[in-house]
Structure 1
């Protein structure tokens, strides 16, 4: 069947969580993704959710993004029920990078069993959670305190993806990366493409007209 006439696969629900120290710009990143513009002044959130239906290649997704907000009010249930995670730090705040390891440990404890046969885990013990470490506010060149290399080193230590961005520019690539990792992970039981062809196609689809495809959940 020709690529252009391929039928869409059954829609798969996918939950993402954006975590990080207060003030690193979590909400700004999500709002840039959702609304397509940089929101400089907004009220800090406690917890909020955004949803969208999106197609990558031949696979359709119903995506829900949880913004954990400024008060870290989320619980283990939010982590256990989600498939992908963005851990955000501010490249101008060294303490925010130091907090990434603790956040990853929270995810690991909720998603990976402490001992074989744990009934509280949603991942096999041999598998890492689908996580991308994100350095934010890279536009503030005169205030950088963390190098790209330092961010990469932390992400490698944790076996996570890595990206840098700013809500004043393009943010799509870091969200695409975590979804790609979910595709390759059995934490999303029905996600995957044995042929390996969807990644390139999905990236093109994801970057095309992306800004208007997300919307805030009702309620």
Structure 2
């Protein structure tokens, strides 16, 4: 199976791809650089690749090249995502930051194009629903996969052995995923009214979705019957 994951920069999509890459025997490009499209490959082995939202390469280009069997969209609360990305030196690479957030909102509006939607917040909470969703796609995630036991050297070594041409055709990076296991320490970011207004203008549909999720969670934690809305 070929699995293509797309997410905004600073969304946690690389960490998600790292979790998926712990599957024994699979190949992985856990972070295709923003200035590259997903590669063309010939291997028959299970392969996960993660790409980011840019103005340079639409999803259709990544899909045409990589030929995935399944597409997954990784979402993060756009307020936290925006707060994180605006501190990064690469925020305007392959498209201005605000342009990319507008594209993200459009991707969310067209989420029927994806086979699964995974929320970063559920991922770092190790919600069993994430594992159930991935198992339903045919890419099972086990509890042990949240620890990153496959080293970068192992991931690259297996990739180069199977697809040696990629060494010449593209750079390989590993994003901001750090440490030996998935962590929630970067989940919540400081917010203010100005940030809220900015994100509301760029990602109105995705922000509304997250507000509903938050409202549903609050009702559930207070003993109500409300459930978080589905994607």
Structure 1 or 2: more helix by fraction: 2
**What range describes the TM-score normalised by the shorter chain of this pair?**
0.3 to 0.5
Structure 1 or 2: more strand by fraction: 1
Query: TM-score of the superposition, structure 2-length normalised?
Result: 0.38
